[in-house]
Chains A and B, each alone.
Chain A
Amino acid sequence: MKTFRVIVRFSANSLQQVLSNVPVFLLFFFSKLVRYGLFLLFLILLFNGVTSVMGYSREQMLMFYLIYNLIDTTAQLMFREVYRFRPLIVSGGFDAVLTKPFSPIIRSLFGGPDFIDFGVLLIIVATTIYVANTYIHPSWLQIILFLAMIINSLLIAAAFHILVLGIGIITFSVDHLVMIFRDLTALMRIPVDMFTNPIRSILTFVIPVGIMFTYPAKVLFGLLSWQLVVVSFVFGGLSLYLSLKFWHYSLRQYQSASS
């Protein structure tokens, strides 16, 4: 309960910070909407020239992209503080985090949610529900499984961000790793099936961005076997477990050298 209260406080502080400069908030908000909108427009235009891509219809391709944005934006909203972790380590400010009676990993992950993404997320959720309702017509079981898969994707995202934090403690470098993760996830604006092997296998089972972004959409379409659903959850749990192990290992390596 205390953890939850502190996260709410972090969120309130972050929201106040965003609202302190409304024009900048609106500028970034508008830019993000334009970015998503232009790619959606491209997908719609593409299907003026072709009937399907790898057997996927226009509506399914739109859903893949919307679900990619749904998961990606939620992860960015929640874990934005990871992007500010390096200065904390380099300056020695992480000492203050460690001395407080609050979990340093929760502080480092959830310390500054990005509320510009929150506004964008609401629009993405509304659009996803509209497209799913109008064109996909999933069953209740598919919807429940889809939501479970989304939570699983966020667990994998959390695992990756924890890994980045751990590496940050050991190497003092975070920025490029996070950006490479962002670029890897951006590959999933299209379904992982479109990549040829071995890239497809790497993106599914080594760096499980395929499980994170493509599989939830496929569950919603009823195109994913139950075996792969189980494999996805195993990956989710395992990646979180291993990243936490690595986090504890990296904490033991922390030398507070900059303070």
Chain B
Amino acid sequence: MKKYWIVFQQSFQNEFVYRLNFILWRFRNVLRILMTYFLWHSVFSSNSNVFGYSKEQMMAYVFLVLLVTSFVMSAPSNDNVGGEISNGTLNNFLVKPISYLSYWLTRDWASKLLNMLFAVFEFSLLWFLFKPQIYFSQSPTQLLLGIFLTIISALIYFVITKLAISVAFWTPENTWGFMFIILVFMDVLAGSIFPLDLLPKSVMTFLQFTPFPYMIYYPIAILVGRVDLITALKILLQSMAMLGFWYYVVMKVWKKGLKNYAAVGI
């Protein structure tokens, strides 16, 4: 455990090496939220209730997207693991007494911590600039459930993206293609632009069986009180089952991938 703590500390420090890059990255995250904010702001300028959402609930949803996205989707592993498989530097890790996936999970969490610190600052700044009225769930239990689900969402995100990247074991010249399509689906179906309960019920029921709504939509829906406590608990159990299933799949695929791995890039 101690070695991962050292990896965590070093990765956190490492994030400060390219400060300008990091600040520009955070600036880009704020820009992305602006479109969603102003779209919904315009929608509510002539409507008081849209799809059962009050303006306060929707504004809370939009603002929480910034925080939840910063936490769940900050993952430097996405930019590195594929390359390390294809160019053969994965060898360095295979000979060390460290789990490669745990190593990158630790690095991701160091990045998440820094991104969250910035996201809280950005959240406060945007709130100060736009002064939206925000509504959160009044139940502390539900808020805790929402936070817990966000942590599980980050793990689901890690597992799914590593599964997509493991394609590199079989096609080292194409490490990004499959990942790109997963990110495209996540872009809309995770709920970062709109709450997914706008979708027809049948589509929403289907999406429950995919990992996408667990990444952003469900945690925020619980935090803003869109679902009751019993439903929130049900979602939490579903998300844990989802994590368990995809973890099993990624471990199987990773094992097969390692057998196929020939360090061709070396």
Contacts and interface: CB of A to CB of B under 8 A. Distances in A.
Interface of A: 21, 23-24, 27-28, 30-32, 34-35, 38-39, 42, 45-46, 49-50, 52-54, 176, 179-180, 183-184, 186-187, 189-190, 194-196, 199
A39 B192 CA distance: 12
B88 to A, nearest CB: 21
Interface in B1-60: 20-21, 24-25, 27-28, 31-32, 34-35, 38-39, 41-43, 45-47, 50-51
Contact of A180 (B31, B45, B193): B31
Nearest to B30: A183
Interface centre among B20, B42, B188 (most CB of A within 10 A): B42
17 contacts: A21-B173, A30-B181, A35-B187, A39-B188, A45-B199, A49-B50, A50-B50, A52-B46, A54-B46, A179-B24, A184-B31, A186-B31, A187-B35, A190-B39, A194-B38, A194-B42, A195-B34
Contacts of A50: 43, 46-47, 50
Contacts of A23: 177
Given A38-B187, A176-B21, A187-B34, A46 B181 contact: no
Contact of A34 (B41, B173, B174, B181): B181
B178 A27 contact: yes
Contacts of A196: 38, 41
Contact of B42 (A21, A38, A45, A53): A53
Nearest to B185: A34
Given A24-B174, A27-B180, A34-B184, A46 B31 contact: no
Contacts, number: 91
B101 to A, nearest CB: 25
A61 to B, nearest CB: 10
Nearest to B200: A45
B35 A186 contact: yes
A54 B44 CA distance: 9
Interface residues of B, number: 35
Given A46-B194, A49-B198, A176-B25, A186 B38 contact: no
Contact of B194 (A27, A42, A195): A42
- Of B34, B173, B178, chain A has the most CB atoms within 10 Å of the CB of B34
Interface of B: 20-21, 24-25, 27-28, 31-32, 34-35, 38-39, 41-43, 45-47, 50-51, 173-174, 177-178, 180-181, 184-185, 187-189, 193-194, 198-199
A183 B24 CA distance: 11
A28 B185 contact: no
A31 B25 contact: no
A24 B178 CA distance: 9
B31 A39 contact: no
Contacts of A180: 24, 27-28, 31
B24 A189 contact: no
Contacts of A38: 184-185, 187-189
Contacts of A189: 35
B31 A54 contact: no
Contacts of B35: 186-187, 189-190
Contacts of B41: 194, 196
Contacts of A31: 180-181, 184
